[in-house]
Structure 1
Amino acid sequence: MGFFVAFGAAVATLLMLPSSFASAAPAAAAATGPAGSINCTTGCGSISIQYPFGIEPGCYHGPGFNLTCASRGHGPPELFLGDGTVQVLEISVEHSTVRINSTSVQLLYHDNNSSRTTSRTWGVGIPERGPYFLSESTNILEAIGCNIQGVQDGYSCRCSKGYEGNPYVPGGCQDECEHPEAHSCYGICQNFPGSFGCLCHDGTYGDPFTKGGCNKKFVIGLSVGLGVGGSTSLLLLALGGPFIMRKIKLRKVKKMRRKFFKENHGLLLQQLISRNTDIGHRMIITLRDIEKATDNFDRARIVGGGGHGVVFKGILDLQVVAIKKSKIVVQREINEFINEVAVLSQVNHRNVVKLLGCCLETKVPLLVYEFISNGTLYNHLHIEGPVSLSWDDRLRISMEVAKALSYLHSSASMPIFHRDVKSSNILLNDALTAKVSDFGASRYIPMDQTGVVTAVQGTFGYLDPMYYYTGRLTDKSDVFSFGVVLVELLTRKKPNDYQSVDGGSLVSHFISLLIEGKLVDIVDPQILEEEEDKEVQEVATLAALCTKLKGEDRPT
């Protein structure tokens, strides 16, 4: 059974002596022992040991306070009183109690027949002359019989009200406010007899017992007379608090949006597009309008995406739009990005997806395009089953893509190289009209430059090998990628994961069969049945020219 015992009279009497008594104790205890002592055990198992208790000689106050730490079997060490008979479960110096594990209890009783008082120990191994007695406040005993009366159990040593700590060592009782780890007051701690108070610092309000719980007070735009009571002020604060916090949050959001707009060179874009008043008023779109158009970027609105970001479908000014949200933009490319937006905003071709505007109020700018409803050329070509787009549609789509690239290279206000021409970047509307899209990797090239060295971008299988090896970007890099798309239209095979039996790419295998006169071995059987006047042979020859190794050998 677990019992609480208190330690009292003798101890209190000893510690009422001058403080020099403690300092004269043998030098053997740790920080929890008497002043000036060292090398005393401070714990056994999970139980902390403080002076006046101790294990080693010189580390405890006197008889009855010596302890033994020992292991029984393979378990953790256990703590015992004296020579190791009575197990100690808990020691509280602050409350002057020791909880023990004892199987029997024998109390002091009075023998009426012999007119004498018999003192018997209780709990085998407890010192008969103290310093322990049964704690009345922490144990519940049921006494049965006559002449039952209370017993005076001596005195215990406690810290005065308003102080806490170890009363058995000099300076052990300290102001509660001097130990913030004990009371967790993160404001101003005020000590009172028997307790303490905690208030927020001047100019702040909130919960001082929580870290960061005290916040700065904000001036409310109301004049409160001196005669108004504190309860009225609190009521006004309670009613106005949510409104004030909402205003503060909105102010922070607006500040962040202005910061991103500036970092994304929104002022530069405004200057560039101000030259064209027709587009100036509509090119820059607010984040609020974007969030409204996409239901705050609801994932149900996602219609596409890949390694560079996701595309949301939205409604902006009663028009269905596609909003591209990129994952990463390198800060040093922001200037180029803004210039490209300015250039693309002036692109107007029926076979190029129209850029409607951009939002610069986010960390990564958002692009808004016209929405093309019928998916990509890639999806239409690589469906399950033997029948895909007709040969007439494939031929027309290839011509529309060629016209779009020709426009970008030579008819736009400044030449634009796409850099990532592939079937998944060619969108189709309901009439299967081709729309070249995704200019995220595009570069505009000044008129006086025939080629620019850049970091290589593109998609494996469609990428110009000369551009890959040299980094020199020209219009012929787009021509190579267009030639790969022609091969894809002819064969319905995927350029980015095709491999011939001898390890060759789709383009190299296609050209080998063309030279050998064995196109039938790789061309889609559907178009061999639909073609007229050997059109497949002519388109195959053009594809071979477009994918020549040297750029100068390719057509425009």
Structure 2
Amino acid sequence: MYMAFPNLLVFLFVLFHLFLVELCDANHECPKSFPCKHFGTLEYPFTELERPECGLITADCDSTKFRLGGKEYQVLKNISTDKYLVLDSSLHYNLNTNSCFSFRTPLPIYPNISFTISPNLTLFTCDKSSNDRKREEDYFQIQNYKNYSTCLGFTVYYRNPRDGNLSREIDDPLPLGCSSIQLPLNITSDSRDNVFKLLAYEYTIEWQVEQPKDNNNKKKKIILAAVIPGAAFLVCLLVCFIIWRNKKRVTNAYRLSRNISSDPSSKSDIEGGSLYFGIPVFSYTELVEATNNFDSAQELGDGGFGTVYYGKLRDGREVAIKRLYEHNYRRVEQFMNEIKILTCLKHPNLVSLYGCTSRRSRELLLVYEYVEKGTVADHLHGEKAEESPLLWSIRMNIAIETAAALSYLHKSEIIHRDVKTNNILLDGNFCVKVADFGLSRLFPTDATHISTAPQGTPGYVDPEYHQCYQLTGKSDVYSFGVVLVELISSMPAVDINRHRHEINLANLALNKIQKCDFDELIDRSLGYGTDAEVTRMTTSVAELAFRCLQPEKEMRPSMDEVLEYLKDIQKGDELMFEKGKEENGNGKMLRSPETDEVMLLKNKNMQSPVAVTDKWISSSSTIESSTE
């Protein structure tokens, strides 16, 4: 086995060399300047549409527009080579509709170039789930800040510059969960209390390149001198780690075999009847008989770790039997993990475990309750979707019950780690049963996250977990956000037939919701656009999904908050009316992002702008890296 390591080193070195060659070639191909019809001669950071890799600002030389950070701007005036008066169509749209999407940084952040907008106004956004709410209120009250609190999940604090410096500025750090943001200021506005009127969609963009893109040869030498030795060192560490891990697994497998022989719970394998973690141990013979020798006609589904079969026990109970693919140390670990988790949980929306085989059995088998309606995935975009599509009322209940199950898991200090519509089952009454806990992890009470190699299903994996190897409860929230989008769109989480930037449903949803193109996302067969109540609810669920799918985990709500939001959405306008009476002291309805969007849909008379979306595409297959 170790003979493969030299080949691995050669492969990694060649791959790294090709990357450097490609980098150098790209630098050679980029022109220092180029003529542009409406802009004159342009230099870096501008680039042409045909060569987006050569700069940061893509100029459309056939018009007066350019793209920056995925966002389109209309140039109103060329002030200088690095200063332009622009019209931000996306911000224009959001301000006119009083959308909470207005409170986003309009310009991207790059390491070697700084952008500024003028005139500007500094606002503060604070997460409503923060535990520092009292200090937050006191902090901004002292400085005479007003607040706008109807946005989903966060509050905006602002102060009209015309009011002057009414109080002293304090040097204390911002409250937890709060951050500052600079947005364009509307200097002609006479409004004092409407934060949307204080902001402008026409403003000046200016930039300063801190490190000019010169001396390419010198940079290449620096890269070669610094990166190659570092890469070689990292490769050596990787090889040592692989050798250590393989040795550890061999040792663990040996210890496991020693422990199994002395484990009293595994002695009665032939006839079954003993208890393991408090659940019955079935004999292998009985389960073979129940599944008709694992007949392929009895298959219910096929997952990343095993095949599930329909079976009928000798006592007449209908069951689902999971047959793990391999009987090795890794599979025994997952086998024991699922048993430990399911035996200590009891919730109406979690699948029940009836029993298992002994670890000494010739195969590892788990016996669950049989959930007859199958998976939500099959009802949304499988064979059952064509026969009888799920009504919106059922889909809304599925969302709430799944959120309730995940909230219960998180309170029990358990992260599911593989939330997807294939792991959400439906019983005869279309009630949810969340299944498949082979990847789940117990979450230490004194930890903020667990460091582990990413595992899960493509299309559902939290991008921050994928990049930083830090698993938290917000990782389940991200995956559940994908489930919400599936429920409102009826589209699968991954579809290679879609545009390459929209293969992942999460990317597609972020793009459409950011531009308010709900009609291109929500399944019209649900009643969207024809039924006012369905339109309100699906649009609100889309906005909640948008929050769940934020790349940074701090921007996502907790599973408890998600559950409460879904219940509020289901209760509808009556709840909003009651909240309006409590907060306003009258019967006037509160405005909210949800109601704004519904009114917008009823009176839509303008094109949605192109907006910024955070793109992330997962790997093409389920990752099964070690979690040592």
TM-score range, shorter chain: 0.3 to 0.5
Whichever structure has more helix as a proportion of its residues is 2
Please say which structure displays the higher CA radius of gyration. 1
Greater relative contact order (Cα 8 A, min sep 6): structure 1 or 2? 2
When the two structures are superposed, what TM-score results if normalisation uses the length of structure 1?
0.48
When the two structures are superposed, what TM-score results if normalisation uses the length of structure 2?
0.43
